[in-house]
Structure 1
Amino acid sequence: MTAPARVLVTGLGGFAGRHLGPAFAEILPGATLLPLGCDLTDADAVAVRVREARPDACLHLAAIAAIGVASGDPARAWQVNLHGTLALASALSRHTPDATLVHVSSADAYGRSFAVGMPLDETAPLAPINVYGATKAAADLALGAMAGLRVIRLRPFNHSGPGQSDDFAVSAFARQVARIKAGLQPPVLRAGNLDPERDYLDVRDVARAYALAVDRAQALPNGTILNLASGVARRIGDVLDALIALAGVAIAIEPDPARMRPSDIPHASGNAARALDLLGWSPRIAWPRTLAEVLEDWQRRV
């Protein structure tokens, strides 16, 4: 099969999108990445862009991705994450029916299914417990039922790396640690619940999975669902302790009620055996390296 030459990417300027260049250079060096370049929630503008771009594949990254941001403005989260996704899918099915949509969903859609306490595979029920997870689950299910569209659905677990905003736990910790080390705030770090365990990936490994999925999109069965996970659950408090140790400074940790989420599930991890089988993908970057580079990035930024 011919490799995709023109790849329309939503969210190309976002956190994961900014890491796509090296991944595509390795896996699909002949591909041109085309930004959407319009408001995802403007269905007419999306249709015009799809018609003009004539992509061979579309990688859909754009979303209201932070749980707190989505919860703070649910209407916007539903508009972008569900209705924007459906506008894109509709435009692709009308104007480029041979193109495959590689949709980036989220492991947050599994929600209460994590209560089993073991790594989930793609057969686990979607049972979201927050607005973000609900919007991603709705889009995931809607695309799975949409006729006239080739779609591959990816469900990445938590990922971090250089360039991430502090709306996410690891990056928020690293920012505070970097500010303390630079003398910009007292040596006290405020944090939410540190007991939950999460399955963390490096964003560059995730970007490589996206490139592999686009490369093999035509060969994969329509409707394929793939988890992207390490299979290892790390306690959030241990992640914070590791960042503090990397910084080499004494820091007191205080609870921050504003960051406490009662809906937090104790343990979340994923089984990505199917991604290994169908894409040849597994994480390459060791977690200690990710943490070190997130901290270095924040030390430059502060």
Structure 2
Amino acid sequence: MLRSPAMRRHESSPVALVTGAAGFVGAWLVRHAQQLGWTIIGARKPDTPWPSLDVEWVDVDLRDRAETHALLRATRPRYVVHLAAVAFPREAAQDPLEALRLNYGALDHLLGGIQLHAPDARLLYVGTGEVYGPRPDTAPPSREDDPLAPPNLYAATKAAAEVRATLAAEREGLDVVRVRPFNHSGPGRPPSYAESSFAQQIAQIERGEREPVLRVGNLDAVRDFSDVRDVVRAYTLLLERGEPGAVYNVCSGRGWSIREVVDHQVSRSKTKPRVEVDPALYRPAPPEGSTLVGDPARISALGWTPRYRFEETLDDLLADWRSRA
């Protein structure tokens, strides 16, 4: 287990171990937690570049039980935020067993290590709102006590991990809080996700790097989008105030069709590209519906409210891609 140079820890500040800290959400969580005065230990997959964040980095393969237990024994954190995952549905579909090893197996290893070496730690298990599955447009927003209907292998592995986390809380006495974030975006979002791909394409068109055609997939799908900066505030709030064993949606409660997302981003473009549906990107809506919107009432009761309108998120995302020339 390779570690970056150790940082001085402040005895009064909680120590948080963040898996997947080098990723999109992880980097935003690290920044926010540090503003709260927390000491962060960032766990990253070996051979992943260390982002320019002032944290203690630890290389660990979470698929390895012994390595994961050694990590918990060495760090003994107050909080553990488990973000590391195969997070893109197509990637999970290409290698389902690898998705299961990381999305389920890594969590099992973390829980075992916590039980042995940090039994007072609180684990925030970051799942996904996709476990509810899409619904008809007329259906009400998904609530935490609704039945799960994962529509793909990615969501199935995350649902299985949720069951494991629930068992740890109910049968093993561990302090576990589960969270189901719906779509979230913002600066740094990878281009494998639709709204970030659109922003990347627009920035490239504005620079003359590609033809003035915005290639899109199915524009009729409706998703619940939040700003990543609001989402990480929800995570720290749940670590501090969430009910042990409970599950919380993190979402806005409002659906955006992908067509609306495209229309907003094109309206901000300096070139006004032509929009074309690319058959390679098009995924037909499942028969059960194409809407996935959550109900944020439970986390709102803890005092969480979004600070960013999604229009602002999209504008910041486009500005980020424009800055990457």
Q: What TM-score comes out, normalization by structure 2 length? A: 0.86
SS in 2 for 1:189: strand
Q: How does 1:277-288 map to 2 (within 5 A)?
A: 277-278=301-302, 280-288=303-311
Report if aligned partners of 2:221, 2:285 keep a CA contact under 8 Å in 1.
Answer: no
Report if aligned partners of 2:135, 2:292 keep a CA contact under 8 Å in 1.
Answer: no
Report if aligned partners of 1:230, 1:270 keep a CA contact under 8 Å in 2.
Answer: yes
In structure 1, the residue matched to 2:42 is: 35
Hey, what's the Cα distance between the residues in 1 that align with 2:22 and 2:245? 27
The residue type equivalent to 1:240 in the other structure is V
Hey, what's the Cα distance between the residues in 1 that align with 2:250 and 2:139? 18
After TM superposition, the runs of 4+ consecutive aligned structure 1 residues lying more than 4 A away are 112-116
The residue type equivalent to 2:224 in the other structure is D
CA RMSD of aligned residues (A): 1.8
How far has the Cα of 1:20 moved from its partner? Answer: 1.6
- Indicate which of 271, 275, 290 corresponds to 1:266: 290
Would you say 1:154 and 2:179 are equivalent positions?
yes
In structure 1, the residue matched to 2:19 is: 10
Report if aligned partners of 1:4, 1:56 keep a CA contact under 8 Å in 2.
Answer: no
In structure 1, the residue matched to 2:316 is: 293
How far has the Cα of 1:116 moved from its partner? Answer: 6.1
Report if aligned partners of 2:218, 2:284 keep a CA contact under 8 Å in 1.
Answer: no
Report if aligned partners of 2:134, 2:291 keep a CA contact under 8 Å in 1.
Answer: no
How far has the Cα of 1:112 moved from its partner? Answer: 4.7
Structure 1, unpaired ranges of 5+: none
How far has the Cα of 1:260 moved from its partner? Answer: 2.0
The residue type equivalent to 1:274 in the other structure is R
Report if aligned partners of 1:113, 1:127 keep a CA contact under 8 Å in 2.
Answer: no
The residue type equivalent to 2:178 in the other structure is R
Aligned length: 295
When residues 200 and 3 of structure 1 are mapped into structure 2, their CA distance, relative to the original with a 3 A threshold, is farther
SS in 2 for 1:176: helix
Hey, what's the Cα distance between the residues in 1 that align with 2:137 and 2:128? 17
Hey, what's the Cα distance between the residues in 1 that align with 2:111 and 2:165? 8
In structure 1, the residue matched to 2:270 is: 248
Hey, what's the Cα distance between the residues in 1 that align with 2:282 and 2:12? 46
Would you say 1:186 and 2:211 are equivalent positions?
yes
How far has the Cα of 1:167 moved from its partner? Answer: 1.0
In structure 2, the residue matched to 1:173 is: 198
- Indicate which of 137, 140, 150 corresponds to 2:162: 140
How far has the Cα of 1:215 moved from its partner? Answer: 2.1
In structure 2, the residue matched to 1:222 is: 244
Hey, what's the Cα distance between the residues in 2 that align with 1:78 and 1:62? 12
- Indicate which of 63, 67, 82 corresponds to 2:89: 67
The residue type equivalent to 2:317 in the other structure is V
The residue type equivalent to 2:253 in the other structure is G
Measured against aligned partners, the alpha-carbon deviations of 1:238-290 in whole angstroms (never above 9, x if no partner) come to 10111111113221122122222235541111111110113x11211111111
Hey, what's the Cα distance between the residues in 2 that align with 1:82 and 1:15? 20
In structure 1, the residue matched to 2:4 is: none
The structure that is helix-richer by fraction is 1
Report if aligned partners of 1:113, 1:125 keep a CA contact under 8 Å in 2.
Answer: no
Structure 2, unpaired ranges of 5+: 1-10, 44-57
Higher relative contact order (CA 8 A, sep 6+): 1
